[in-house]
Structure 1
Amino acid sequence: MDACINQLNAQMQQHQLPAIVDSFVRLTDAQQTLQLLHLYESAQRMSVKYAYLQNIASKILSQHVLPKELIANIQSLDKLSFFTPGLKFNNNFAQQNTQQQNVLHSLFSNCSGSNLPFNYVRSLMLFESNESLLQAVQQVDQNGLTAVASYIAKNPTEHNLPKHEFSALLALMEVEFKQTQGNINTAAFLKALLTLCQASPTKSLSDYKILLSGAYLRCKTEQIDRYLAQHK
């Protein structure tokens, strides 16, 4: 076991929360990520200690910026939910890694049909005052894609969204549109969508994926179909 995990476990056994928070800054980005993931994984194993372990993670992130390596590890709604109290501090929702991805990019690009995050994220926007979350929705990664664009054009799983998740995704599109004043990188989106199409075993995308693409770009689905057919 890594020395930083042994240190964290020893500090938790002695209920040394201030020491955990203070020593965090002296760790490397990779070690900080290991500690935070250890807290999450421990909480998953020991539900009775979930709130206690989440509180430790929140205290850490209230004092320190989210480590860059952790961003790519937040690929499920369960992880986002665990870290959400801490992400509300230090502009953590909008922190970006070396690929210029934030936690929403990572989550939306990798979420599964059984663990969709859109209604949860939309609820955070409705009931929490958090400027960094609004900022995160409009940020683009190194490929010019927002988090919503990444879900549609990069997530390989074909999801037929439940009504509440579909409505939430449309609401997030609207939020992004208003935040960016409609300034969508159409070329980057279509390039990513074409790459996704070419990587598909059938070399095609579902009608549902095309529908979401049309909704995002605010164009007719026939235009999406035509573009993909012309560039195959």
Structure 2
Amino acid sequence: MDLSIQLLNARISKQQLNELDNDFRQLSPAQQTLQLNHLYDSAQRLSVKYDFMQNIAIRILSTNTAPSLFINQLTNIDALSFFTPALRVNKGFLVQDTQGNNVLHNVFKHADATKLPFNYVRSLMLFESNDDLVKALAQPNSHGLTPVACYIAYANKSSTPVKHEFSALLALMEIEQKQNPNAKQKLANVLKGQKVNETTILLSAAYLQRSTAQVAHLIKAL
């Protein structure tokens, strides 16, 4: 077990929670990532610890920027849900990894077709005021792609999302494009020449606001 995890466990067992923030600041980015992932893993293993571990994450990230390695490794909706209260403070949703991806980029890009994140993210925007989350939705990565564009370009999509997730995805497209109307062209550039399936063509058409025939011609997929 890494020393950073041993230290974290010791602080928790001795109720020395006020020391966690300073401890975290002294760690390497890799060790910081280990600590944050340990909090999540512990919460997943034992549900009675969920709120406690989540509050520790909030305590740590309220005064420390999340390391880029941690942002890169946060790739599923369960982890996003756990860390949402912590990311809500200190502009955590806008922190980017070395490829310029924020947490939404990484969660959307690795989206599990059986547990999509769009309705959850849309609900956060509807019921919890968080300007940074809205901004993160339109934030481009180093390739100029937004989180939604990353989903369309890279996620494993064998079929169209289920109805409520598809509706939420369309709403997220609208929110994004009100902020960053020029982002659409970047997706078209990435898809050009790629071999894509019908679902990708359909979602690209919705995102680019073109017909499926126009999109297919654009990327020469058919």
- The equivalent of 1:201 in structure 2 is none
- Cα separation, partners in 2 of 1:38 and 1:137, compared to 1, 3 Å: same
- The equivalent of 1:205 in structure 2 is 197
- The equivalent of 1:86 in structure 2 is 86
Q: Report the alpha carbon displacement of residue 157 of structure 1 after superposing the two structures with TM.
A: 3.1
| Most deviating of 152-161 and 51-60 | 152-161
Matched residue SS, 1:113: coil
Matched ranges for 1:69-218 at <5 A: 69-180=69-180, 182-186=181-185, 188-194=186-192, 197-198=194-195, 204-206=196-198, 208-218=199-209
Q: Report the alpha carbon displacement of residue 185 of structure 1 after superposing the two structures with TM.
A: 4.3
Q: What amino acid is aligned across from residue 205 of structure 1 in structure 2?
A: N
Q: Report the alpha carbon displacement of residue 95 of structure 1 after superposing the two structures with TM.
A: 0.7
Residue-by-residue CA offset, 1:48-89 (whole Å, 9 max, x unaligned): 111111111111111111111111111110000000000011
Identity %: 48
Query: Which of residues 209, 215, 222 in structure 1 aligns to 2:213?
Result: 222
Matched residue SS, 2:115: coil
Contact 2:184 2:207 in 1 (8 A): no
| Partner Cα separation in structure 2 for residue 158 and residue 72 of structure 1 | 24
- The equivalent of 2:53 in structure 1 is 53
- The equivalent of 1:22 in structure 2 is 22
| Partner Cα separation in structure 1 for residue 34 and residue 62 of structure 2 | 18
Contact 2:118 2:169 in 1 (8 A): yes
| Partner Cα separation in structure 1 for residue 37 and residue 28 of structure 2 | 14
Matched residue SS, 1:25: helix
Residue-by-residue CA offset, 1:135-192 (whole Å, 9 max, x unaligned): 1011111111000000011113324211111110000000001112x22241x31233
| Partner Cα separation in structure 2 for residue 95 and residue 229 of structure 1 | 35
Contact 1:74 1:106 in 2 (8 A): yes
- The equivalent of 2:38 in structure 1 is 38
Structure 2: gaps of 5 or more residues: none
- Aligned residue pairs total 222
| Partner Cα separation in structure 2 for residue 48 and residue 192 of structure 1 | 44
Matched residue SS, 1:75: coil
Structure 1: gaps of 5 or more residues: 199-203
| Partner Cα separation in structure 1 for residue 34 and residue 73 of structure 2 | 10
Q: What amino acid is aligned across from residue 18 of structure 2 in structure 1?
A: P
Q: What amino acid is aligned across from residue 190 of structure 1 in structure 2?
A: A
After TM superposition, the score normalised by the length of structure 1 is 0.91
- Cα separation, partners in 2 of 1:155 and 1:192, compared to 1, 3 Å: farther
Matched residue SS, 1:72: helix
After TM superposition, the score normalised by the length of structure 2 is 0.95
| Most deviating of 32-41 and 218-227 | 218-227
- The equivalent of 2:68 in structure 1 is 68
Matched residue SS, 2:62: helix
